[in-house]
Amino acid sequence: MRLLNIALRRETLAPVLALSFASGCCVLMVTARVAWTANYRYIALVWNLLLAWIPLVLALLAEEKFQAGAGRDWRFGGLAAVWLLFFPNAPYIFTDLIHLNGYFAAHFWVDLTLILCCALTGFVSGFVSLFLMQGMVRKTFGSPASWLFIAGVAVLSSFGVCLGRFMRFNSWDVLFKPMTLCHHLGGWIADPFAQKFSLAFAAIFAAFTFIAYLMLYALTHLQHSQPSVAAAAVAPLGRPFDVLPS
């Protein structure tokens, strides 16, 4: 109930409701697809979409702590760290497109649309959480630092997606398989060019994440500058630009 009250505040009500509606539609489409094909592998899309919601939940909880004045408290730091750990799950769903070469290939365009619907919903869910976290960084360290934060998250999350897709690690493997994870990361860091494909993918995916976030961020600052019909009708004929904002 507490989390529901946080999510349904006036500031976050619209995106949370929109994402809930989109997620519900995705679940219904996946359910219909499973019923039609009797292929239960599609359920993985619902699981990945659920994981994509976790960063938003963590960001909402972190923002509540921040607004309560606990911006430097260990509980806030813990929430922020776990948020960063789970954030790659949001853009990860785009990599499910790889399955179009396998068991999804029989109905390519239907499955492409289904995966993209789930991926877009998860992506936007992650971006809403990123927007909230950027706001907290901006209030604490300033606007330039907040954009360095976005760039850093884009880079780190792209490597997280690589670990998930190509090395099959999960976010919780930090706790359950720390030594195995450190071994793979150590080999990657020691010789990053040994796996040029993974390095190239991480760089391109980081750029994709940053550019996509930048465009969505710009949309949140879109201003309606067109004059209303009524205002234009009553404007003096000799001063046609008086109705425009200064």
Indicate whether 236 belongs to any domain: no
Q: How far is CA 58 from CA 7, 21, 83, 110, in A?
A: 11, 20, 6, 33
- Computed over every residue of the chain, the mean pLDDT equals 81
The per-residue pLDDT for range 154-207, each reduced to its tens digit, is: 999 998 888 877 776 677 766 767 777 676 666 666 666 666 677 788 899 999
Indicate whether 237 belongs to any domain: no
Three-state SS string across the chain, please? CHHHHHHCCCCCHHHHHHHHHHHHHHHHHHHHHHHHHCCHHHHHHHHHHHHHHHHHHHHHHHHHHHHCCCCCCHHHHHHHHHHHHHCCHHHHHHHHHHHHHCCCHHHHHHHHHHHHHHHHHHHHHHHHHHHHHHHHHHHHHCHHHHHHHHHHHHHHHHHHHHHHHCCCCCCCHHHHCHHHHHHHHHHHHHCHHHHHHHHHHHHHHHHHHHHHHHHHHHHCCCCCCCCCHHHHHHCCCCCCCCCCCC
The answer for residues whose C-beta is within 8 angstroms of residue 28's C-beta and 6 or more apart is none
**Per-residue pLDDT, 200:** 84
Indicate whether 72 belongs to any domain: yes
Q: How far is CA 54 from CA 9, 47, 61, 170, in A?
A: 18, 11, 11, 13
The per-residue pLDDT for range 101-135, each reduced to its tens digit, is: 755 556 788 888 999 999 999 999 999 999 999 99
Q: Answer whether residue 234 shows pLDDT above 50.
A: no
Total count of domains within the chain: 1
Indicate whether 228 belongs to any domain: no
Distance CA 126, CA 117 (A): 14
Distance CA 27, CA 46 (A): 6
Indicate whether 145 belongs to any domain: yes
**Per-residue pLDDT, 237:** 40
Q: Answer whether residue 22 shows pLDDT above 90.
A: yes
The per-residue pLDDT for range 42-92, each reduced to its tens digit, is: 898 999 999 999 999 999 999 888 887 766 677 888 899 999 999 999 999
Q: Answer whether residue 39 shows pLDDT above 90.
A: no
Copy the structure tokens of residue 28: 């219904």
**Residues recorded for the chain:** 246
Question: Which of 96-110, 128-142, 217-231 is the most confident on average?
Answer: 128-142
Residues spanned by the domain of 12: 2-221
Indicate whether 226 belongs to any domain: no
**Per-residue pLDDT, 31:** 94
Indicate whether 239 belongs to any domain: no
Indicate whether 77 belongs to any domain: yes
